[in-house]
């Protein structure tokens, strides 16, 4: 099937305004008759729930943590982009759009990216009005910093806590609506199924994580804002609870999964210290504003103290290979370069998994205090984990799975191919193409939540009669029975391996075969091994306790079971995409200098997969990509 993104036509500059005008409006008096389910209350879901509640809709919002304030958006450090052009350094909406399309290696839709760039400026205004304490200069004006993949300074920030501050802004707006009664908040609930009636999304089935009860909720539209899936690699910068479960359950009910192979490996994370490790910690990309990345030139130097390696014996490899972007080269390029150095035996620290991020020059140029003011909390975090003082010796960093560009397929209105199912934030595939630029995910989450869904959902709701289906419908009952049966199955296997052991095993297969460099061979290996792990899981996992109480093993079993199915789809998508683009690097497809080689003739499309049943091959649907404003070009950061 050829998919239609339903993008507006005509001049790009007018596309969003025109589309908004064309959308039908819901009569204000009728809004309260509509129920909307919002699964996830991070930046995307929190902003959306608050804005929809404010418009007068009835919103039921869900999250798995004990409070909406804890969604993993909270962990974003570096900043959020906007085309304000406050520094007058040549920025514009068109330039932000250009950088995003190019950064994504020409695998995103132009209309969506234009809209994102256009509303980016409203986001900053909105957050300021909420009391988000962005960094300011002494005169009181908003301050900016630079991020990878851009030559202008357009990143707004709040210390190294930007995600926290933005999320708390959205959380406060959400709290106001909860108090006003327009949003009903359900904490400690995990969505375990999507309920589809006659092809239309009508509700969800969730587990109350405190009592174990399986509950049904019906609505006129269901929104998923459930974040990214890179915990499929086990070790990642995501929170422990991040999963693909909500998205995957929707996919199993017919929603297409787009570009699952576009995953981002972040270049600057703290290297793994041991086998027991449970997660990896990011060191914000903003550090690359003032830190220089290097590896020793000679193998015999790798175990020396960094201070004992002379400047002549250091390879500042990003500055050498990409002189115009230097340490601010995009993430995919920076990660691969670091991996190359380590693969060549030039890595430092345990297992040779690390390169240096060095602040000595900046400290000399700007003073230690200035560096502390800019990145103090990051240096502190680094010291807590490694016991090393990065003011005195360079940080050790290594790439780690970080972000999912892929996600459920949505059209321009953020609606999936299932009518009534909308997908927001990292959970959808829409704007980042094959690689996301730094400081653009926060922008996307808030754009989707504050400025897109409040308009586009109305265009759908006017076509449906409110309250047409209730939880009495047999599909809801069936879903509850299915969810209970699956949970009982986990509890009854009583095998010999813990859920975490399976997750680690899957993670290793994914990292080694479907990680930073992928080949036909490695991908086929993954596609062979993952079903074996899955089979063993269903015969040999051990989950203690019962389903009718708080049971973290049971929660985790469900998430890992879904990763064990989804991981295979990710590998299949990577296998089918016979090109390299952005975060998807196929070793067979590279230019003589090792750069990614895109194939625009054969692969300039969104690949959206339809689930056909376990152990059956999924079916690929394509949405061709057209580039009318930004011309297709080889991406170069040299």
Ligand X SMILES: Cc1cc2nc3c(=O)[nH]c(=O)nc-3n(C[C@H](O)[C@H](O)[C@H](O)COP(=O)(O)OP(=O)(O)OC[C@H]3O[C@@H](n4cnc5c(N)ncnc54)[C@H](O)[C@@H]3O)c2cc1C
Q: Which of residues 60-99 bind ligand X (CB under 6 A)?
A: 62-65, 71-73, 75-80
Backbone angles phi, psi at 376, to 5 degrees: -45, -45
Q: Which of residues 371-430 bind ligand X (CB under 6 A)?
A: 402-403, 425-427
Task: Choose, by CB under 6 A, the member of 35, 58, 144, 238 that binds ligand X.
Answer: 238
Token look-up 């989450």 returns: 445
Distance of alpha carbon 251 from alpha carbon 245, whole angstroms: 10
Distance of alpha carbon 232 from alpha carbon 245, whole angstroms: 11
Task: Choose, by CB under 8 A, the member of 125, 198, 213, 619 that binds other proteins.
Answer: 125
Under a CB-based contact definition with an 8 Å cutoff, are residues 359 and 288 in contact? no
- Each residue 282-311 as x (binds other proteins by CB under 8 A) or -, in order, gives x-----------------------------
Q: Which of residues 324-363 bind other proteins (CB under 8 A)?
A: 350
Binding partner at 297 among other proteins, ligand X, none, C-beta below 5 to 8 Å by kind: none
Query: Is 587 an interacting residue with respect to other proteins (CB under 8 A)?
Result: no
Q: Which of residues 207-226 bind ligand X (CB under 6 A)?
A: 225-226
Residue 6 structure tokens: 């339903």
Beta strand pairing call for 58-62 and 35-39: parallel
Query: Is 536 an interacting residue with respect to other proteins (CB under 8 A)?
Result: no
Backbone angles phi, psi at 105, to 5 degrees: 55, 40
Under a CB-based contact definition with an 8 Å cutoff, are residues 449 and 66 in contact? no
Interface segment toward other proteins; rule CB under 8 A; list 126-134, 338-346, 402-410, 621-629: 126-134
Residue 268 structure tokens: 């600057």
Whether 331 is a known active-site residue: answer yes
Q: Which residues, 6+ apart, have CB-to-CB distance to 388 below 8 Å?
A: 382, 395, 396
Backbone angles phi, psi at 87, to 5 degrees: -75, 0
CB of 164 to ligand X, least distance (A): 10
CB of 531 to ligand X, least distance (A): 24
Q: In Å, what is the CA distance from 630 to each residue of 98, 152, 205, 277, 513?
A: 6, 18, 43, 43, 33
Query: Is 439 an interacting residue with respect to ligand X (CB under 6 A)?
Result: yes
Nearer of residues 296 and 567 to ligand X, judged by Cβ: 567
Q: Which residue is nearest to ligand X (CB)?
A: 42
Under a CB-based contact definition with an 8 Å cutoff, are residues 443 and 116 in contact? yes
Binding partner at 442 among ligand X, other proteins, none, C-beta below 5 to 8 Å by kind: ligand X
CB of 15 to ligand X, least distance (A): 23
Under a CB-based contact definition with an 8 Å cutoff, are residues 356 and 267 in contact? no
CB of 82 to other proteins, least distance (A): 9
Token look-up 């899936």 returns: 229
- Each residue 138-177 as x (binds other proteins by CB under 8 A) or -, in order, gives xxxxx---------------xx-x--xx--x--xxx-xx-
Q: Which residues, 6+ apart, have CB-to-CB distance to 117 below 8 Å?
A: 83, 93, 94, 96, 97, 100
DSSP 505: H
Q: Is 614 helix (H, G, I), strand (E, B) or coil?
A: coil
Number of residues engaging ligand X in binding (CB under 6 A):
47
Under a CB-based contact definition with an 8 Å cutoff, are residues 103 and 149 in contact? yes
Q: Please give the biggest Cα pair distance in the chain.
A: 74
Query: Is 210 an interacting residue with respect to other proteins (CB under 8 A)?
Result: yes
Nearer of residues 76 and 97 to other proteins, judged by Cβ: 76
Binding partner at 159 among ligand X, other proteins, none, C-beta below 5 to 8 Å by kind: other proteins
Interface segment toward ligand X; rule CB under 6 A; list 42-50, 109-117, 290-298, 515-523: 42-50
Q: Which of residues 50-89 bind other proteins (CB under 8 A)?
A: 50-51, 54, 65-70, 72, 74-75, 84, 86
Distance of alpha carbon 180 from alpha carbon 169, whole angstroms: 17
Binding partner at 485 among other proteins, ligand X, none, C-beta below 5 to 8 Å by kind: none
Number of residues engaging other proteins in binding (CB under 8 A):
81
Choosing from 70, 189, 292, 331, which is the catalytic residue? Answer: 331
Query: Is 28 an interacting residue with respect to other proteins (CB under 8 A)?
Result: no
Catalytic site positions: 331
């Amino acid at each position: 099937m050829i998919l239609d993104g339903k993008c507006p036509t005509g001049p790009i500059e007018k596309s969003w305004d025109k589309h908004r005008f064309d959308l039908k409006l819901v009569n204000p008096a009728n809004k309260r008759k509509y129920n909307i389910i919002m699964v996830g209350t991070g930046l995307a879901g929190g902003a959306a729930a608050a804005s929809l509640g404010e418009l007068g809709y009835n919103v039921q919002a869900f999250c798995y943590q004990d409070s909406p304030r804890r969604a993993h958006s909270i962990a974003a450090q570096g900043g959020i982009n906007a085309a304000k052009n406050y520094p007058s350094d040549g920025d514009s909406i068109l330039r932000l759009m250009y950088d995003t399309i190019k950064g994504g290696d020409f695998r995103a839709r132009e209309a969506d990216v234009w809209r994102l760039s256009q509303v980016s400026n409203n986001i900053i205004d909105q957050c300021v009005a909420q009391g988000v304490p962005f960094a300011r200069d002494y005169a009181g004006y908003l301050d900016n910093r630079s991020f990878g993949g851009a030559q202008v300074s357009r990143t707004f920030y709040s210390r190294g806590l930007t995600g926290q501050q933005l999320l708390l802004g959205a959380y406060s707006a959400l709290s106001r609506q909860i108090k006003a009664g327009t949003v009903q908040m359900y904490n400690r609930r995990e969505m375990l199924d999507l309920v589809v009636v006659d092809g239309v999304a009508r509700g969800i089935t969730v587990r109350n994580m405190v009592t174990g009860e399986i509950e049904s909720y019906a609505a006129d539209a269901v929104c998923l804002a459930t974040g990214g899936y890179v915990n499929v690699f086990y070790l990642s910068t995501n929170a422990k609870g991040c999963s693909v479960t909500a998205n995957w359950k929707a996919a199993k009910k017919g929603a297409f999964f787009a570009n699952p192979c576009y995953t981002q490996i972040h270049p600057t994370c703290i290297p793994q210290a041991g086998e027991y490790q449970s997660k990896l910690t990011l060191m914000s990309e903003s550090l690359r504003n003032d830190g220089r990345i290097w590896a020793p030139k000679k193998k015999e130097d790798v175990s020396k103290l960094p201070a004992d390696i002379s400047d002549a014996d250091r390879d500042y490899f990003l500055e050498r290979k990409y002189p115009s972007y230097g340490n601010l080269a995009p993430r995919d390029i920076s990660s691969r370069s670091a991996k190359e150095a380590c693969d060549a035996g030039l890595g430092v620290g345990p297992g040779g998994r690390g390169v240096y991020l060095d602040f000595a020059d900046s400290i000399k140029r700007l003073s230690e205090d200035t560096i502390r003011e800019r990145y103090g909390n990051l240096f502190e975090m680094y010291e807590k984990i490694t016991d090393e003082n990065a003011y005195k010796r360079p940080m050790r960093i290594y790439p780690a799975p970080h972000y999912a560009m892929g996600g459920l397929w949505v059209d321009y209105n953020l609606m999936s191919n299932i009518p009534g199912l909308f997908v927001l934030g990292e959970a959808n595939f829409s704007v980042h193409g094959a690689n996301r630029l730094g400081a653009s995910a926060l922008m996307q989450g808030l754009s989707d939540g504050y400025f897109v869904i409040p308009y586009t959902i109305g265009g759908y709701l006017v076509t449906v009669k409110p309250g047409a289906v209730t939880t009495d419908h047999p599909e809801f009952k069936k879903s509850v029975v299915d969810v209970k049966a699956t949970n009982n199955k986990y509890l009854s296997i009583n095998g010999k391996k813990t859920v975490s052991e399976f997750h680690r095993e899957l993670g290793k297969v994914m990292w080694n075969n479907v990680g930073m460099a992928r080949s036909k061979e490695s991908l086929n290996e993954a596609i062979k091994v993952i079903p074996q792990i899955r089979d063993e899981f269903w015969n040999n996992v051990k989950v203690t306790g019962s389903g009718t109480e708080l049971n973290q093993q049971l929660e985790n079993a469900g998430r890992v079971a879904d990763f064990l199915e989804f991981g295979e789809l990710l590998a299949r998508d990577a296998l089918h995409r016979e090109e390299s683009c952005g975060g998807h690097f196929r070793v067979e497809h590279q230019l003589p200098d090792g750069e990614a080689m895109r194939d625009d003739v054969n692969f300039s499309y969104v690949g959206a997969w339809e689930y056909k049943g376990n152990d059956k091959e999924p079916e690929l649907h394509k949405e061709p990509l057209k580039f009318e404003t930004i011309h297709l070009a080889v991406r170069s950061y040299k």
